[in-house]
Amino acid sequence: MKRQYFGTDGVRGPYGGPVINEAFAERLGVAAARFVSRQTHTGEQRVLLGRDTRASGQSLLHAVSSGLASVGVESAVLGVVPTPAVAAALVRERAALGVMITASHNPAGDNGIKFFSRGGIKLSDQQEAEIERLLPGEQPPVLYSRSRHVDGLRSYMENVKQLLPANALDGWKIVLDTANGATCMTSPIVLRALGAEVVTLGDAPDGYNINAGVGSEHPEKLAAKVVETGARLGIAHDGDGDRCILCDELGGVLDGDEILTILALHALKQGVLPVRTLVVTVQSNLGVDAALREAGGRVLRTSVGDRYVIERMLLEGAMLGGESSGHIICSEISPTGDGLVAALKVIGVMLETGQPLSRLRRCLKKYPQASINLRVREKKELALLPHLPMAIQSLESEMGGYGRVLVRFSGTEAKLRLLVEGPTEALVKAGLARLEAVARTDLEVL
């Protein structure tokens, strides 16, 4: 379903731009209130609001709250919290809707607005389109609100801490990179409460340094610090805490595919992977499919976006899914991606097996893969480009069913994402170079 403002994960863009500004945020609050009123004619209509550490977050949150209040819908402010804490609070508080002000892994100059429905599930395409239809016309912002504050952290941390036994991490040294984001207030507290010695990176947010050279998008400092300190592992989140990237004790970085494969294979061995199924996106490496198939499981794929993964998990009765970017959904614990939950689940496997992360990660033998992101001036219809569709078809034909090509525009940024995966590294690299050259002729690349 075509949407004008919503992308892969909410509404997102540069703060102060045509979409992410206080006036539009208030209009979106009005539309969200109308949506809630239509969905819940009686009963709880309260909306929960959270944000990450971006300097623009507070005024955008206030604007959304103002829009909600103008239609008579009360909001409760959770403050600076990880995105999964908003989802958890929705379940706990039985609220009608959750709003997270965040641009996730994007730079500090961007911001965005994510929505969660009852039960902590992200809105469907249809629901987002409905909110767009309910947007009021252009109007000057009023910027008043009617809200109260609710503790969004204590219960979340207490619940997550129960994933491991008390003092399970005594004697463990862990390097933790919180991206100068929302998990600064949660992950180190939980890990230390479990007994770990925590060495922190990216733990001094100032409103402008979120994701700046740290976090899941920049794991280099994490890897170096793990080796330097002799830590058992490293954990990196993104700005709003719904992603997790790990680093083993040797300094090797594990992406979401490796995390998912470790968790899925361990669950299969224990007989506790529901419907013996792991759900991933088209972005995940084909080696994931091979590893699960060999262990008697199966892999299902969706479009890129963790909410599509969650929708398929609900449809199939699966409980584990995610993305190579590090969105990991363990739905028996959290209705959405949770970087801290994912890290603790992997640590649980390490504790149960007695194996270091460098050994556990060997369960995934990745197919050669190469990718590049090209920043473009304009996102055009891929099928209508003069040369790129034919180049994609030609490369896929050459690989003869032993690889794949994935070309798509980012749902949250003006970027063209190119990925080639195949039987040999030489073929993959050459294929990607060809696609990049063609893309540069079809599009204005910045």
Catalytically active residues are 104
* Neighbour tally for 285: CB within 10 Å: 23
And the tokens for 305?
Answer: 């976006």
Do residues 187 and 178 touch, judged by C-beta distance below 8 A?
A: yes
Provide the residue type at 255 as one letter: D
Q: What are phi and psi of 233, to 5 degrees?
A: -165, 170
* Neighbour tally for 21: CB within 10 Å: 20
DSSP codes joined into one string, 281-347:
ETTS-HHHHHHHHHTT-EEEEE-SSHHHHHHHHHHHT--EEE-TTSBEEETTT-SS--HHHHHHHHH
- Whole-number Å distance between alpha carbons of 146 and 151: 17
Sheet of 369-375: strands edge to edge? Answer: 369-375, 415-421, 404-409
Contacts for 128 with CB less than 8 Å, ≥ 6 apart = 3, 6, 115
- Whole-number Å distance between alpha carbons of 218 and 236: 9
